[in-house]
Amino acid sequence: MASAEAPMVGVIMGSKSDWEYMSAAAEVMDELKVSHEVRILSAHRTPEQTLEYSAGASARGLRVIIAGAGGAAHLAGVIAAKTLLPVIGVPMPTTSLNGIDSLLSIVQMPKGVPVATMAIGKPGAANAGLYAAQIIALGDAKLSERLAKWRAARAQELLQQKIP
Ligand code: RP5
């Protein structure tokens, strides 16, 4: 669910089929009250719109971009090429190679144009949302507090786990 207030994080993905996984990024940012927007843009199918989005992202107030794509996954890299905002890439397990292809494609950026690459699929998408929140929390003490509480709650959940 995208936020009503001015978005600080852009969550983009190469296809609607990626939402099954990328929704995990939006969910965690909803929990942490990090404003975000969601867009479908493709490095291959909509190259002009993708570059336009990236080039204008900072001026629109975005602070981080999360990009999920599968297969020949160029979306995060192409986005990173047109902005100085931090870009987080999430490999999608949407092809017959189950995301290994996407992972290698996203992680192998050339020197000079970094993309912070997460794990394949939902865990990577959730961590991308958390990582974006951590970046924004560097200048937002209240968000930093919410993150600390979120982590503490996860620790409590684990400590309460029992083997049946
Ligand atoms: C990539 O190809 C997308 O990011 C998606 O992971 C994959 C398959 O896309 P669809 O054919 O389902 O649209 O561009």
| Closest C-alpha to ligand 1, atom 5 | 70
Express as a percent the part of the chain with pLDDT over 90: 96
H-only helix segments in 12-99: 19-31, 47-57, 75-81
Residue type, 131: Y
> For all residues of the chain together, what is the average pLDDT?
97
Does the pLDDT at position 115 exceed 60?
Answer: yes
90-113 tens-digit pLDDT:
999 999 999 999 999 999 999 999
Whether the CB of 18 sits within 6 Å of ligand 1: yes
Across the range 121-149, mean pLDDT stands at: 98
CA angle 98–101–106, rounded 5-degree value: 120
10-46 tens-digit pLDDT:
999 999 999 999 999 999 999 999 999 999 999 999 9
CA 95 to ligand 1 center in whole angstroms: 8
In sequence order, what DSSP letters do the residues of 147-164 get, joined into one string? HHHHHHHHHHHHHT----
- Quote the DSSP letter at residue 12: E
Whether the CB of 92 sits within 6 Å of ligand 1: yes
- Quote the DSSP letter at residue 36: E
What pLDDT score was predicted for residue 43?
Answer: 98
Express as a percent the part of the chain with pLDDT over 70: 98
pTM of this prediction? 0.96
Whether the CB of 15 sits within 6 Å of ligand 1: yes
Instruction: Enumerate residues 6+ apart whose C-beta is below 8 A from 128.
Output: 25, 66, 68, 88, 90, 118
Whether the CB of 71 sits within 6 Å of ligand 1: yes
- Quote the DSSP letter at residue 18: G
Does the pLDDT at position 1 exceed 60?
Answer: no
The number of the ligand 1 atom at minimal distance from the alpha carbon of 43 is: 14
Whether the CB of 76 sits within 6 Å of ligand 1: no
50-93 tens-digit pLDDT:
999 999 999 999 999 999 999 999 999 999 999 999 999 999 99
* Tokens representing residue 151 in the block: 């982590």
CA 46 to ligand 1 center in whole angstroms: 12
Q: To test ligand 1's pocket by mutation, which of 15, 16, 50, 106 has the most ligand atoms within 8 angstroms of CB?
A: 15
* CA 38 distance to own-chain centroid: 10
